[in-house]
């Protein structure tokens, strides 16, 4: 027993030294770096800012006959104010005209007479439709819901990205666990190789056993290198998700911890209330209903007020009128009511009702899909928890068998083929345990995601 524990201790020491030589990436690090650095997450965060920028009373309204866009305009919560001065036909500034006139009486002829003039006519106009069939209020609510929708989409992006990151992260831990087992087997194989050589020198062993122990020793090294290649691939994949340099070196823990229990009824209630895809479907329906109100509001008249102030000054060098100057203001109510607009509003209302029906179907499909995902994850999680307990017992039994087989080989009671078979069984049991731990963790993550609790 002392020899066995000594060998395992040596293997653990090798692993510990390796871990200390590199940066250890914890679960908290993965979550934090993913949320802060990932490209998709940052793009979704930018979309939130765009929706927040759009959600202001200055963009409410617009008065479109089809009623659904955010472009600004005269119908809305804020008035429209414009300042004008001049036009292409009557520009603001000065002018010079050269005239040549020929008459029947040559004494009246005008030859190259230059006329200077100036024109100055600025104006300011204020227009505000304070009633537009309540469309402005529907639009403002729709912008609120659009901002909330962008937050839900941001959360869903985090969940999907985080699930990918954690899947890769725990895959690395699973590989690390198996490498740890292989290194422990390598130490044992080295010991058995030396023992076979000593038996051969003593005349009680076989050269076949010596050769076989060397071959097995080499095979274990090959497996370690292969697993290290897989580990490196997953490290590069995780670096890509975390937006780190592909050659960034880090290590991961060698233990997978299961943190939740599979409770289906509570999970089903959480899925209805917290699942991001379902919440996005519900929010989309709210936006559809508000858009329908916008379209219907176009059937109503629009009432507003308007006012303007103008100043005009025109001068000329010659002529009966040398100066023309006017200034003043006016204001009053304005009213408009589109009675017929080629059935544009009616068509928009019909199409929006169809859109509502389609989004209702999408929501029902999303609910069915997410609840199916939850149930599958629940079944997988429950069964994997059972499997992991069985695999733990198998590892314990395989460990005992390996110790007995090593003692029998050492005492000459069995050949190396028997010992190698038992050792392979031990390696297989350790591998199955690492895979069971990974599968259990993966099903736990999917179980949490379906409930909308992965980010929490």
| Integer Cα distance of 282 and 275 in angstroms | 11
Q: Is the pLDDT of residue 60 over 80?
A: no
E-strand ranges in 121-211 read 122-131
Q: Which residue has the tokens 């009486």?
A: 105
319 band by pLDDT with thresholds 50, 70 and 90: low
What is the pLDDT at residue 64?
Answer: 40
- The model's pLDDT over 384-416, given as tens digits with 9 standing for 90+, comes to 999 999 999 999 999 999 889 888 877 777 777
Among 179, 76, 176, 72, smallest CA distance to 128 is for 76
Q: Which residue has the tokens 């949490």?
A: 448
What is the pLDDT at residue 384?
Answer: 96
Lowest-confidence segment of 20-34, 112-126, 166-180, 322-336 by average pLDDT: 112-126
**Can you list the domains of the chain with their CATH numbers?**
2-61+132-301+340-451 (1.20.1600.10), 78-130+303-336 (2.20.200)
- The model's pLDDT over 185-228, given as tens digits with 9 standing for 90+, comes to 888 888 878 887 887 887 776 788 788 888 888 999 999 999 99
> Which residues touch 25 (CB under 8 Å, ≥6 apart)?
169, 250, 251, 252
Best-predicted range by mean pLDDT among 10-14, 353-357, 422-426?
A: 353-357
**Contact, 198 vs 26, CB < 8 A?**
no
What is the pLDDT at residue 17?
Answer: 47
What is the pLDDT at residue 62?
Answer: 44
Q: Is the pLDDT of residue 110 over 80?
A: no
Among 258, 251, 238, 240, smallest CA distance to 166 is for 238
> Which residues touch 356 (CB under 8 Å, ≥6 apart)?
285, 288, 289, 292
The three-class DSSP label of residue 223 is helix
Calculate ∠ Cα 89-90-96, nearest 5°. Answer: 105
- The model's pLDDT over 250-307, given as tens digits with 9 standing for 90+, comes to 999 888 999 899 999 999 999 999 999 999 999 999 999 999 999 998 889 988 888 8
What is the pLDDT at residue 436?
Answer: 95
What is the pLDDT at residue 88?
Answer: 63
The three-class DSSP label of residue 251 is strand
For 273, other C-beta atoms within 10 Å of its C-beta total: 10
| Integer Cα distance of 448 and 455 in angstroms | 9
**pTM of the entire structure?**
0.81
What is the pLDDT at residue 80?
Answer: 82
What is the pLDDT at residue 89?
Answer: 59
What is the pLDDT at residue 22?
Answer: 55
Structure tokens at 79: 């008035």
- Regarding predicted confidence, which is higher, 29 or 18? 29
76 band by pLDDT with thresholds 50, 70 and 90: low
**Contact, 74 vs 304, CB < 8 A?**
yes
- Regarding predicted confidence, which is higher, 314 or 182? 182
């Amino acid at each position: 027993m002392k020899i066995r524990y000594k060998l395992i201790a040596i293997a653990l020491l090798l692993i510990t030294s390796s871990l200390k030589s590199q940066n250890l990436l914890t679960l908290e690090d993965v979550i934090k770096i993913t949320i802060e650095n990932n490209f998709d997450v940052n793009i979704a965060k930018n979309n939130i800012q765009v929706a927040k920028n759009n959600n202001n009373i200055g963009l409410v309204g617009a008065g479109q006959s089809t009623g659904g866009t955010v472009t600004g305009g005269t119908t809305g919560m804020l008035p429209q104010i414009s300042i004008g001065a001049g036009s292409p036909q009557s520009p603001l500034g000065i002018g010079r005209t050269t005239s040549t006139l020929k008459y029947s009486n040559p004494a009246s002829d005008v030859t190259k007479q230059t006329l200077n003039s100036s024109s100055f006519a600025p104006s300011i106009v204020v227009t505000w439709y304070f009633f537009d069939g309540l469309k402005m209020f529907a639009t403002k609510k729709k912008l609120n819901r659009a901002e909330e929708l962008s937050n839900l989409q941001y959360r869903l992006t985090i969940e999907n990205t985080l699930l990918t990151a954690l899947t890769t992260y725990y895959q690395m831990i699973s590989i690390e666990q198996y490498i740890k087992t292989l290194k422990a087997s390598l130490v044992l194989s080295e010991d058995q190789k030396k023992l076979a050589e000593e038996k051969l020198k003593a005349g009680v062993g076989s050269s076949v056993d010596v050769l076989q122990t060397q071959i097995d020793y080499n095979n274990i090294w090959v497996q370690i290198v292969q697993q290290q290649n897989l580990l490196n691939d997953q490290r590069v994949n995780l670096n890509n998700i975390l937006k780190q340099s592909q050659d960034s070196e880090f290590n991961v823990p060698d233990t997978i911890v299961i943190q939740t229990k599979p409770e289906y009824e509570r999970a089903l209630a959480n899925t209805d209330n917290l699942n991001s895809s379902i919440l996005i479907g519900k929010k989309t329906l709210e936006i559809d209903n508000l858009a329908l109100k916008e379209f219907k509001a176009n059937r109503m008249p629009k009432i507003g007020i308007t006012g303007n102030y103008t100043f005009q000054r025109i001068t000329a060098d010659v002529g009966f009128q040398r100066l023309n100057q006017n200034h003043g203001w006016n204001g009053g109510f304005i009213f408009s009511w589109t009675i017929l607009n080629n059935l544009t509003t009616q068509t928009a209302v019909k199409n929006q009702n169809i859109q509502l029906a389609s989004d209702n179907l999408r929501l029902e499909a999303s609910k069915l899909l997410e609840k199916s995902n939850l149930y599958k994850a629940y079944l997988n999680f429950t069964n994997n928890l059972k499997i992991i307990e069985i695999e733990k017992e198998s590892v314990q039994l395989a460990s005992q068998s390996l110790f007995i087989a090593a003692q029998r080989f050492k005492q000459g009671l069995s050949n190396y083929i028997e010992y190698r078979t038992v050792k392979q069984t031990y390696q297989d049991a350790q591998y199955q345990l690492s895979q069971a731990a990974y599968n259990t963790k993966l099903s736990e993550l999917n179980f949490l995601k379906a409930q909308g609790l992965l980010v929490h």
